[in-house]
Structures are given as C-alpha cells and as structure tokens.
Amino acid sequence: MDTTSYNIGLVGLGVMGLNLARNVTSKNFTVLGWDPEEKQRRLAEDYKIPCASSIQDMVQQLESPRKILLMVPAGAVVDQVIKSISPSLEPGDIIMDGGNSFFKDTDKRYQLLAEDGIHFLGLGISGGHKGALEGPAMMAGGDPEAYAQVKPILEALAASYDSTPCVDFMGKSASGHFVKMVHNGIEYGLMQVISEAFDLLVELEGYSYVQCAALFQEWNNGRLQGYLMDITANILAKSSGERPILDEIFDAAGQKGTGSWTAQNALELGVPVPGIDAAIRMRQISGDWQVRADLSNSIDGSINYQNATAIDVELVEKAIYSALLLVYIQGFHQLQVASKEYGFSYTLAQVAKTWRNGCIINSQMVRFLADALESIKTHPLLVPTLGDQLRTDIESLRFVVANAALSGLSLPCMSANLWYWDAFTRAELPTRLIQAQRDYFGGHGYQTGPDSALTSFPWEEPTS
C-alpha cells in the first residue's frame, strides 16, 4: 500500500476516535491516526490502525484534498489542534470537527479557515462508543463541495435505516453542530421522562427493579421502542451480587453542557422548550444532594402513599408516550425556528430521517416523526397526525401527573410537557393581565390585537 495516500486522518484516539478509526478500516478505507498520548497510539496500532509520528507527519501522508477528522474535547483543544494543523494544509483541504462543539464556535472556525481556502465541517456524531464502531448517526454542516468530498466515507461509516445512511448535509457553517446540540437537548428530556416513569412505578406502584425491567422491555417491543428504552430495561435487570446495580449508583447526574446550550439558544430564539428545561434543572437539583438530604430529614420528605391512586400500566405507557412525543416536538420546533433565523437549509423530515438509527434518540417515535414532518410549514403541534396522537394520550399524562403531585412525587419533565400542551391548546391566556401590569408600572403600552399598535391607559394608583 502507498503509505502517502491515506484516505483520511484522525486526530484523537480516545474511545470514540479509536472506534471510528476501526469503523473506517472495516469499510475498506485507509485511515492514519494520531494522538498526543503514546499509550493511545499503541492501543490503536494493536487494532491495526497505523499512527503518524506527529500531526505534520500525518498531514504529509494524506491524499489530496486532505481530509482530517478531529475527535478531541470541545473548546480550546479544537482551536489548538486547528492551529497546529492549518499551516501544513493547502486550499481545498478539509478539517472536520466530530466533537460536541458549541455551534457558534464552529461558525467562527468556519469563517477563519475559509480565509485560507480551507474547508471546515462541523460534524455532529451521535451513538456513543458503540455507535462509533458499528455505525453512528451524523449531521454535517459547512461547504457543500467539502461534504461531497467526504460523503462516500461518511455514508459508509454511518448507521442505516431502510438502506438509507443516517448521515446528511444540514446546510452552511455550523448547522451540523446546531442539529447535534438540539439532538442532545431532546436526549436530556427523553432520559428524564423515562427516569420519572421508573420512579413512579417503584415509589407509587410498588414495582421491583426486575418487574420494571420486564415492563420496559415489553414497551420496547411496541410503539415506545427506542435505544433509551432498551438500555433502561437492561440497566434495571443488572445486579451486582444480590443487589441491583442501580442501588450502588449515586443519584446525582452530570452533564457536559450541550443540553444547557439547547435551552439557552431556545431562550435567544424565543422558543419554549419546557421539557428540556425541566430535565436540565432536575440534573442541577440532583447535584445539590446535601441540601436534598437535609431538607428530607427536616420535613420528612417521604412519599405520601395514602394519597396515591393505583394506576394501570396502560395509562403509564400512554403518559410516557405523550411526554416523549412533546419533548421531540419542542426540539423540532426549535430546529424549525433556527433554520429561518440562521439560514440553515435542513428540513425537519431530513433531520428526523438522520436520527432513525444509530443515534441515542433513535426510536419508533422519531421514525413516525420523519413521516409526519414531511413538507411541514407550520408549528409541529398543528400537524394533524401529531395533534391527533396527543389528544388520544394526553389525559393519561394528566392523570399520572396529578396523582403523583398529590402524593408528593416530583415528575417535573412530565409536568412541564403537560403544561406546554395545555398552554398551546388555550385560545385565551391570562397574559393580558401581564400586558396591563407592564403598562401600569412602566408605561410600556399594550396591544388590543396581534397586529395592533401599542396604546396606553391612564391608570390610577390604588388607594390602598
């Protein structure tokens, strides 16, 4: 083999990077790796992944135009690697960032490298380390001509659904990383809904972990089928000796920022995503474990089982379904608004099709959404098939949330998704009072209709 004509270079040979490199070689492409850690280079070579002696050495051995995939931690490390590579590159060469970079940082890198004629693709990759090896879902953003150059490799690496690769071009600049960011926000919401359903079954219905595992597996054979449902059933069935492994795990969940970025961006765009917000806040509250312990001891924060009403598992299944669907809808609405605001060219159906397999949020539901969101021109809630489905299941969610609230069991994500639906299905909201209050104390004026000019009222100060 000509050692100066590798198809692609890969920088960063941690678990994700190494598994992607192994995936590349299994698809009959040639890859040359590099990592600053010698032990990572040795491990890669154990898997028959050749490694360069330096980044510059790697660049010299790549075919033209050079294609380099970065699998390094998001943030300053990405900029450092780009700075070390770019002097050795030529116009037309391509750098791909496969990490979870903030989309605004990706846009800056795209603009900076474009000045030297170097293409930069933000490549959102989902599927975890197993997906990296067996086939992830990928979302690319940048120059279409650069994507065309790497498309054969990416399509070979990706998972597939109905013989269609789960990878696509989302549009200019940072669109790929933006879509991946929202993917992760949806992921937060889905995980929280599933954990709340587990909590409900154990605390109010008296299910054992083994019984929960069997029920989740049963649901995974139906319309709730999905990667997260599948791994949840597996987790609940695992034991360490005679003790469930879950009982050995501390109840404070971490996060790496992508969910928070989704929520922050939703605020910037004026898009409500309460299901995602609630999931983030619950992780934050879980981290305040000492406060929780102290309060629980001081006020007896146990569940009030006397107020609980037995719930049929069919109602729980419907509640989960409607809550999960509303999380997806919120994420897709954010994608819809962002595409107009930032000039991204993806369609909602295109994004959903990319998520049909390989990624963490792949599910039967997202496949349903891929069909439902085809040619959508309105809010996703107004899509007839989605609205009809929610009307069928929402009362089960209402019953579950109300029963849990009376018992003192917190279901924040399910509750947030319920109020999202209830608010959007009301023609009149009490926010007219907020308009009046703002005008009263601040002279901001108020509207009498959606397109009316601002007017004001000569409010009088209250007498008491």
Residues of the chain with pLDDT under 50: 1-2
Judge whether 180 counts as a catalytic residue.
Answer: yes
d(CA 36, CA 334): 38
Residue 302 is predicted with a pLDDT of 64
Question: Is residue 129 within 8 Å of residue 101, measured between CB atoms?
Answer: no
3-class SS of residue 197: helix
Residue 1 is predicted with a pLDDT of 39
The pair of structure tokens assigned to 403 is 């029963």
CB atoms within 10 A of CB 377: 7
CB atoms within 10 A of CB 419: 14
Residue 464 is predicted with a pLDDT of 62
Catalytic residue, chosen from 180, 196, 318, 353, is: 180
Phi/psi of residue 417, nearest 5 degrees: -70, -35
Distance between terminal CA atoms of the chain?
90
Residue 257 is predicted with a pLDDT of 78
Residue 242 is predicted with a pLDDT of 85
Residue 241 is predicted with a pLDDT of 84
Which H or E run contains 238? none
Q: What pTM, to 2 d.p., does this model score? A: 0.95
d(CA 138, CA 355): 8
Judge whether 187 counts as a catalytic residue.
Answer: yes
C-alpha torsion sign, points 152, 156, 161, 166 = negative
Question: Is residue 224 within 8 Å of residue 364, measured between CB atoms?
Answer: yes
Catalytic residue, chosen from 67, 155, 187, 353, is: 187
d(CA 121, CA 123): 6
CB atoms within 10 A of CB 15: 15
Burial level of 267, CB count in 10 A (0-12/13-18/19+)? exposed
